[in-house]
Each structure stands twice: as structure tokens, then as C-alpha cells.
Amino acid sequence: MITRAQTLARAAELRARFEAAGALPVETPILQSAETLLDLYGEEIRARAYVTSDALRGEQMLRPDFTVAVVQMHMANGAEPARYTYSGEVFRRQEHDPDRANEYVQVGYEVFDRANPAASDAEVFALIAQAVAPLNLRATTGDIGLLTAAVRGLKTTEPRKAALLRHIWRPRRFRALLDRFSGRTPVSARREQLLAGDVACDAPLVGKRTQTEIDRRIQTLRDDAKAPPVSAAEVDLLDALLGVRETLPFALEQLRDIAVDLPSISSAVDGISRRAEALAARGVDVENLPFETSFGRTSMEYYDGFVFGFFSPNRADLPALATGGRYDALTRRLGQGAEIPAVGGVLRPGLMLELEAQA
Amino acid sequence: MSVKLGVPSKGRLMEKTFDWFSQRGVRLTRTGSEREYAGAVGGIQGVSLVLLSAGEVPRELATGRLHFGVTGTDLVQEKLPLWEQQIEPVQELGFGHADLVLAVPKAWVDVDTLDDLDAAATAFRAAHDMRLRIATKYHRLVREHLRQGGVADYALVDSQGATEGTVANETAEAIADITSSGETLRANHLKVLGDDPILRSQATLWRSRLAPASEADRKVIDALTKQLAG
């Protein structure tokens, strides 16, 4: 049994290691604005985070992670470039799996730097990889930016692209939308009637959504019905892209092949190539580093570029021992007009100790 | 110790439950004054009756203070995460049928499916600078349903009663509530969204997996189970 004292001692060691790498130690409050988190994640965050409330401040949440608070702090008064480290408890509701901890210690390292994103990605990954090296974990990497670039490059309407981009992190919804936009899902009889203007409604309109909004949506649906479907060739290319799952050099080869027909991903592929060089320069064994285009799509939705995770090959029941990624868009959303490229990663010292105790 | 059976303390659900048990030779009666929540069990030895709110039955079963209890599937699934590990259904009682449904104004002719609701919610947020509100008391079930359906940009607002009225009162844009006939929905100019309800519910007899039972209690539990199956 790992004690809390042992976990905190390991957390302090890890944080000291990140300080030695040049990070400034920071503390963030445990109670966070529920409004901010709800704005970012929507109602789904309530299933993951604990909500508190009092009559004066209304709803607040126990921090489900540090990143949002660190970004807010940096955007409000941080100097550039910046490296931060922190350690402390995070809180997650676990209503589906009683074996997962609802309170655990995280140690993190975050980099806010405009100079060379590929180098920053490699810096974070290499530091985390070194910290977990004795555990012989399996690493996986990915890049959310590939899929967003591919969607932006589709030869279809802007509203369709916006809908797909909004659901990048919900693979099932994304697939359903793609099936509809490519004409694979048949149009329902009722929708045909609506498009033809054959739907009458005798009920009065109640509530805040106005007739103008309803009419506008019907117009959007009519415009969409007139737009040609996303071609089968493009859907196949997206499928090929989502199916890439190889060691990094082979993945890059496949991605370059796909980019010949899907040129919109070229600059994202170049970015992955630069990152591979930066990783190699940091001593990471990129020849054997796995890359999966779909990795990170179902987890936290703020990552929008490089993503990575470290897992125990022998303990598939354990969640990732370390995760991280790039979240440029989050700095934009929390920055009130400002933005800065940012990447970070977190470790779970409690799980690390648990694995070591087993070995 | 005796074997404790929990039954809703009020109204038609109580009467129908009493009828259902009496058809199987177990006589449940209220004792004392009209307002006193005390009861008695006839036709079988060693069982005592607990009258309580249907909403409290799931929790009492999960903590093991009740061995058996009658309540709706909706309340069990809303109130008990991982309910299968804590309680098990013994029999569906064949009454108290109700569906948990999502409903939107009937005049929203452009919204028939969850897909439409998602698109309408996104446009609503852009137009009103607030997320589309759904009034309900079934927060967990509704959130899970919308997560699976891939709906984003909504907010749940709590409504413990008269939920169908919240849309006209502009405290919500849509609702999720239990309906049996749909009449209240129609009267409030609302329509049910989608083909399948979030959940089909009916009054069900449940058994706690966790309630402590002596050797004597176990015999009573077996006898009661057999008699009710009869």
C-alpha cells in the first residue's frame, strides 16, 4: 500500500526535477470558476468534476486539472517565454469505475514559448519520458492537428467543416456527420417534407428560441441539401488518415503518401517531421516510438496538436501514468484576445509508486 | 431482525403495489391513522413493511436497510451509479409505465432528432450568448444520453416539478421528463424528440444485494421470492 506521504515525497522529487530543467514552481487554487470550465467543456464536465456551491459565489468546481488555472495565470501576468511546474491533488468524479481514484496527485510541466514549437514539444516529452524511464512504459503519440487540417481542407461548405471541427473529440458524432455530409445516410421522409416546405405546425411557438432562428436553420438545411456531397474519395482519405498507426518513421511515410491526395495536411505532416527530429535530438528513440492519428481524440478536448501518453504494458487496468500535449487554442480562449503556443504534460506519482512496488 | 420490504407511501403506486402483492397472497396494509406511515404484512411470517417515498427506495436498497423495495426503473438508474452491483430486479410489476423523454417546442419543425438538437443548440448559443437549457430532475440519465448522442452546448437546469411549464416561462428551451400518455406535453405545446425514449420505466420489485440477512432471514427471503413468483 502506497501512503500519501510517499506519494507527496515522490511528487516533490519530480517537481524539483522540473525546476532543475528551468521551470518556475507555481500554486493554483483548488476551487475554480465553474463558469469557465462549463464554457470550455460544456455540461459534460459535470460528470467529471465535483461541483460545490454556496449562496454568495454560486457554483465552483474542485480542480479537475491544473492546466486551465496555469493558462489563466500565465495569460493574466506571465512573462514570455515561460516554464512552469506544479504538484498537488486533482479531483475527478468516477461514477463508472469504482476502482479509479477520485482524488490523486499530479505533477506537471508546462511550456509557453513562441520560438520553436517542435523543440518545445520534444522538451516536454523527453522530460516526462526520462521521469518514467525506470518503469519501462509504453509510449503513444499522436497529433490532433492532422485531423483538423484535413477537415479544413475538405472540398465542402464552411458550415459542414465547422460542424465536423466542433465534434473532432466525439468520434461517433464525427462519423455520423461525415456519413450525412457524404450522402451515406438517407434523408428521412420528414426532412424531405421540411425541405419541400410541406410541414405545417398549428402549435404556438413557446420559449426563447425565435421563429427567425427556426427559419434560418431551415434555410441552412436547404442550402446543405443543395450542396454536393463530400466525395467518397475524400471520405476514404480521411479513413486512411485515421487508420495510420505505426512507428513514427513508417507513420510519416504513410502520412506523406496520403498528403499527395490530401495536400491540406502537408504542413501538419512537416510539423510532425520537425518534431521527430527534435525528439531525436533530445535522445528519444523515434525509430520505435508509436504514432496513432486517432490517439487523444476521446480524452480531454483542449489538446489541438501533439498528444502523448505513457501506459503500463503489464497493467492494462491502470489509466495513463503520464499524459500531455499541445493546447494553443486553449490559450486563445482563455487569453481574452491574446494567445501563445503552449505544451505541457503531467505525471501521476501515486501510480508510479504502485508500479514500482509491484516490480 | 426481519426482512424489510419498502413500498411507496402514497397514491396510486401504493394502491397498485398493494393489489399486486395481494394477488400473490401477501397482504400489505397501512396501520394507524391515515397520516401515519406504518404498515403490516399478512400471509407470510417475518416480513415487515416500510412505507417511504419512491425516490428514497433506491438509496435504502443500496445501503442495505431494505431487503426488497418497489420503485421505478427511472429512479434506480438516476440515483444509483453501477446499480447492477448493488441491487437486482426481481420482477416487473406491469404498471407505472412511463418513458423518460426529451421534448422541445412543437413549433421547432426543424428539430426531430438529437442531431438536430445539437445543431440548434450551437446556433442558439451563438444567437443568445447562452447555452440551450434543458429542464429536468434526471440529471445523470439525461447527461449520459446526450453525451452518447454527441450533443454539446447545452446546460441542464434543475426542475423538480411542473417541468413542462418551464419552456413557456422561458426558464428552459427544452425539457427531459417522465411521461406516460404525452398529454401534458401536448397541452404545453411540446413534442417528443427522437424515436426512442432515454429510458422506458415501470414499477419494479428490486432486491438488495447488500442487505445483511441472518439464516432465518434468508429462509424468509426465499419463501417470499417463491410466493411472489407463484
Rounded to a whole number of angstroms, the distance from the CA of A96 to the nearest CA of chain B is: 7
Q: How far is CA B174 from the centre of its chain?
A: 20
Q: Which residues in chain B have Cβ-Cβ distances shorter than 8 Å to A167?
A: 150, 152
* Secondary structure of residue A214 in the 3-state scheme: helix
- Find residues 1-40 of chain A whose CB sits inside 8 Å of chain B: 38
- Compute the distance between CA of residue B50 and CA of residue A274 in angstroms, rounded to an integer: 70
- What is the residue-averaged pLDDT of chain B? 92
- What is the residue-averaged pLDDT of chain A? 93
A322-326 sheet: strands from edge to edge = A24-25, A82-91, A103-112, A342-347, A322-326, A306-311, A138-143, A290-292, A245-247
Asked whether the beta carbons of residue B155 and residue A38 sit closer than 8 angstroms, the reply is yes
Which residue is closest to A163 within chain B, CA to CA?
B119
Residue B152, pLDDT > 80, answer yes
B14 inside 8 A of chain A by CB: no
- Is residue B1 very low, low, confident or very high in pLDDT (cuts 50, 70, 90)? low
B210 inside 8 A of chain A by CB: no
Task: Read off the pLDDT of each residue in B128-147 and give the average, rounded to a whole number.
Answer: 93
Q: Which residues in chain A have Cβ-Cβ distances shorter than 8 Å to B148?
A: 172
What radius of gyration do chain A's Cα atoms show? 23
Beta bridge partners of A53: A59
Q: What is the pLDDT of residues A273-310, one digit of tens each?
A: 999 999 999 999 999 999 999 998 876 568 899 999 99
**In sequence order, which residues have a C-beta less than 8 Å from that of residue A321 and are 6 or more positions away?**
A132, A135, A137, A310, A311, A312, A347, A348, A351, A352, A355
> What does the DSSP assignment read for A138-171?
EEEEEEHHHHHHHHHTSSS-HHHHHHHHHTTT-H
Cell triple for A335: 487569453
Residue A359, pLDDT > 80, answer no
Residue B38, pLDDT > 90, answer no
| % of chain A with per-residue pLDDT over 90 | 77
| Partner residue opposite B81 with nearest CB, options A95, A170, A208 | A95
Best mutation target among A59, A166, A173 (most B Cβ atoms within 10 Å) is A173
Measured torsion, CA atoms of residues A73, A77, A79, A83, in degrees rounded to the nearest 10 = -10
CB B189 within 8 Å of CB B168: yes
- Find residues 152-181 of chain A whose CB sits inside 8 Å of chain B: 163, 166-167, 170, 172-174, 176-177, 180
Looking at residue B147, its pLDDT comes to 87
- Compute the distance between CA of residue A231 and CA of residue A296 in angstroms, rounded to an integer: 27
- Compute the distance between CA of residue B45 and CA of residue B36 in angstroms, rounded to an integer: 23
| % of chain A with per-residue pLDDT over 70 | 99
**Burial (CB count within 10 angstroms: exposed 0-12, middle 13-18, buried 19+), residue B121:** buried
Which residue is closest to B145 within chain A, CA to CA?
A44
* Secondary structure of residue B131 in the 3-state scheme: coil
Q: What is the pLDDT of residues B105-127, one digit of tens each?
A: 999 999 999 999 999 999 999 99
Looking at residue A300, its pLDDT comes to 57
Domain ranges of chain A: 1-137+312-359, 139-156+232-311, 157-231
A47 inside 8 A of chain B by CB: yes
Torsion sign (Cα): A298, A303, A304, A310? negative
Asked whether the beta carbons of residue A217 and residue B128 sit closer than 8 angstroms, the reply is no
Q: Which residues in chain B have Cβ-Cβ distances shorter than 8 Å to A185?
A: none
Q: Which of A33-37, A199-203, A206-210 has the lowest mean pLDDT?
A: A199-203
From first CA to last CA, the distance across chain A in angstroms is 14
Interchain CB contacts (distance < 8 Å): A and B: 105
Looking at residue B34, its pLDDT comes to 66
Residue A42, pLDDT > 70, answer yes
CATH number of the B98-200 domain: 3.40.190.10
Asked whether the beta carbons of residue B115 and residue A176 sit closer than 8 angstroms, the reply is yes
- Is residue A254 very low, low, confident or very high in pLDDT (cuts 50, 70, 90)? very high
Looking at residue B39, its pLDDT comes to 86
Q: What is the pLDDT of residues B175-206, one digit of tens each?
A: 999 987 789 999 999 999 987 899 999 999 99
Asked whether the beta carbons of residue A208 and residue B119 sit closer than 8 angstroms, the reply is no
- Is residue B36 very low, low, confident or very high in pLDDT (cuts 50, 70, 90)? low
Residue A260, pLDDT > 60, answer yes
Looking at residue A55, its pLDDT comes to 86
B188 inside 8 A of chain A by CB: yes
Q: What is the pLDDT of residues B82-108, one digit of tens each?
A: 888 899 999 999 999 989 999 999 999
Q: What pTM, to 2 d.p., does this model score?
A: 0.85
Asked whether the beta carbons of residue B128 and residue A176 sit closer than 8 angstroms, the reply is no
Residue A337, pLDDT > 60, answer yes
Please list, residue by residue across A105-128, b when 16 or more beta carbons sit within 10 angstroms of its beta carbon and e when fewer do. Answer: bbbbbbbbbeeebbbbbbbbbbbb
Asked whether the beta carbons of residue B189 and residue A206 sit closer than 8 angstroms, the reply is yes
- Compute the distance between CA of residue A72 and CA of residue A78 in angstroms, rounded to an integer: 9
CATH number of the B3-96+203-229 domain: 3.40.190.10
Find, among A230, A220, A159, the residue nearest to A194 by Cα. A220
Best mutation target among A175, A194, A217 (most B Cβ atoms within 10 Å) is A217
Looking at residue B180, its pLDDT comes to 77
- Compute the distance between CA of residue B192 and CA of residue A32 in angstroms, rounded to an integer: 37
Does residue A98 or residue A281 have the better pLDDT? A281
B3-8 sheet: strands from edge to edge = B47-52, B3-8, B68-72, B203-208, B87-92
Looking at residue B88, its pLDDT comes to 93
Site of grid cell 467543416: A161
A57 inside 8 A of chain B by CB: no
Q: What is the pLDDT of residues A62-80, one digit of tens each?
A: 999 999 999 999 999 888 8
Long-range contacts of B126-129 (CB under 8 A, 24+ apart): B127/A213, B128/A208
- Is residue B134 very low, low, confident or very high in pLDDT (cuts 50, 70, 90)? very high
CATH class of A1-137+312-359: alpha beta
Same fold, B3-96+203-229 and B98-200: yes
Domain ranges of chain B: 3-96+203-229, 98-200
Task: Read off the pLDDT of each residue in A309-317 and give the average, rounded to a whole number.
Answer: 92
Asked whether the beta carbons of residue A206 and residue B128 sit closer than 8 angstroms, the reply is no
- Compute the distance between CA of residue A83 and CA of residue A79 in angstroms, rounded to an integer: 10
Asked whether the beta carbons of residue A221 and residue B82 sit closer than 8 angstroms, the reply is no
- Is residue A199 very low, low, confident or very high in pLDDT (cuts 50, 70, 90)? confident
